[in-house]
Amino acid sequence: MDNVMIFSLFLVFCLLLPLECKIRKPAVSGRWYPSNPVELRKEIDDYLNQVELTDEQKQLQPLGILVPHAGYMFSAPVAAWCYKLLEGKKYDTVILIGSSHHFLQGIVSVYDGDSMSTPLGLIQVDNDLVTFLKNYDKSIDSMDKIHSVEHSNEAQMPFLQVMLPEFKAVSILTSCSNPEVLKKTADALYDYVSKSDKKFLFVISSDMSHYHPYEKANKMDAATLKLIEEEKWEELHNKIKNRECELCGSLALDIFSDIYRRLGGGNPVILHYANSGDAHPEYGLNEVVGYGAIVFPLEKEEVKTSELTDTDKSFLLYLALTTIDDALKGRKTQISVPDSPILNEHRAVFVTLHKHGELRGCIGHMEARTSLYKAVREMAASAAFQDPRFSPVTEKEMADIEIEISVLTPMQRINSVADIVMGRDGVMVKSGWHSGVFLPQVARETGWNKETFLRHLCSGKANLPADAWKDPETEIYIFQVEEFSE
The answer to whether residue 9 scores a pLDDT higher than 60 is no
Backbone angles phi, psi at 235, to 5 degrees: -65, -40
**Please, is 293 exposed, middle or buried when counting C-beta atoms within 10 Å of its C-beta (0-12, 13-18, 19+)?**
buried
Helix (H) or strand (E) holding 37: helix 37-49
Pairing relationship of beta strands 107-110 and 140-141 according to DSSP bridges: parallel
What one-character DSSP code corresponds to residue 22?
-
pLDDT of residue 159: 97
Q: Is the pTM of this model over 0.75?
A: no
User: Which of 431, 177, 199, 405 lies closest to 298, judged by CA?
Assistant: 199
For 63-104, the pLDDT digits (tens) are: 999 999 999 999 999 999 999 999 989 999 999 999 999 988
Q: In the structure, what pLDDT confidence band is assigned to residue 334 with cuts at 50, 70 and 90?
A: confident
Among 15-19, 176-180, 337-341, top mean pLDDT goes to 176-180
Backbone angles phi, psi at 334, to 5 degrees: -130, 100
Do 293 and 272 form a contact (C-beta atoms < 8 A)? yes
Angle (CA) 257-262-263 rounded to 5° is: 95
pLDDT of residue 14: 41
Q: How far apart are CA 87 and CA 108, in angstroms?
A: 31
Percentage of residues in the chain with pLDDT exceeding 90? 68
For 416-468, the pLDDT digits (tens) are: 888 888 888 899 999 988 989 998 888 878 878 899 999 999 999 999 999 99
Phi-psi category of residue 84: left, alpha or beta, with phi > 0 → left and psi -120 to 50 → alpha? alpha
Q: What is the CATH number of domain 302-408?
A: 3.30.700.20
Half-sphere exposure of 105 (CA within 13 A, CB side): 22
Q: In the structure, what pLDDT confidence band is assigned to residue 338 with cuts at 50, 70 and 90?
A: confident
For 383-424, the pLDDT digits (tens) are: 999 999 999 999 999 999 999 999 988 788 888 888 888 888
Q: How far apart are CA 230 and CA 267, in angstroms?
A: 7
For 171-190, the pLDDT digits (tens) are: 999 999 899 999 999 999 99
What one-character DSSP code corresponds to residue 250?
H
pLDDT of residue 234: 87
The answer to whether residue 266 scores a pLDDT higher than 70 is no
The answer to whether residue 39 scores a pLDDT higher than 90 is yes
- 441-447, long-range: CB < 8 A, 24+ apart: 441/352, 441/404, 441/406, 441/481, 441/483
pLDDT of residue 230: 86
pLDDT of residue 447: 79
For 370-387, the pLDDT digits (tens) are: 889 999 999 999 999 999
- CA-to-CA dists, residue 258 to 232, 253, 356, angstroms: 12, 8, 41
N-to-C CA span, the chain: 100
The secondary structure of 253-317 as a DSSP string is: HHHHHHHHHHTT----EEEEEEEHHHH-GGG-SSSEEEEEEEEEESSPPP---PPPPHHHHHHHH
Going along 313-397, which residue ranges are E strands?
A: 348-355, 358-364
What one-character DSSP code corresponds to residue 137?
-
pLDDT of residue 236: 93
Q: What is the CATH number of domain 20-297?
A: 3.40.830.10
The answer to whether residue 225 scores a pLDDT higher than 60 is yes
- CA-to-CA dists, residue 308 to 300, 336, 337, 408, 483, angstroms: 21, 18, 14, 12, 10
Angle (CA) 381-460-184 rounded to 5° is: 100
The answer to whether residue 121 scores a pLDDT higher than 80 is yes
- Where along the chain do its domains lie? 20-297, 302-408, 411-486
Q: How far apart are CA 385 and CA 20, in angstroms?
A: 68
Do 145 and 74 form a contact (C-beta atoms < 8 A)? no
Asked if CATH classification 3.40.950.10 holds for the domain at 411-486, the reply, yes or no, is no
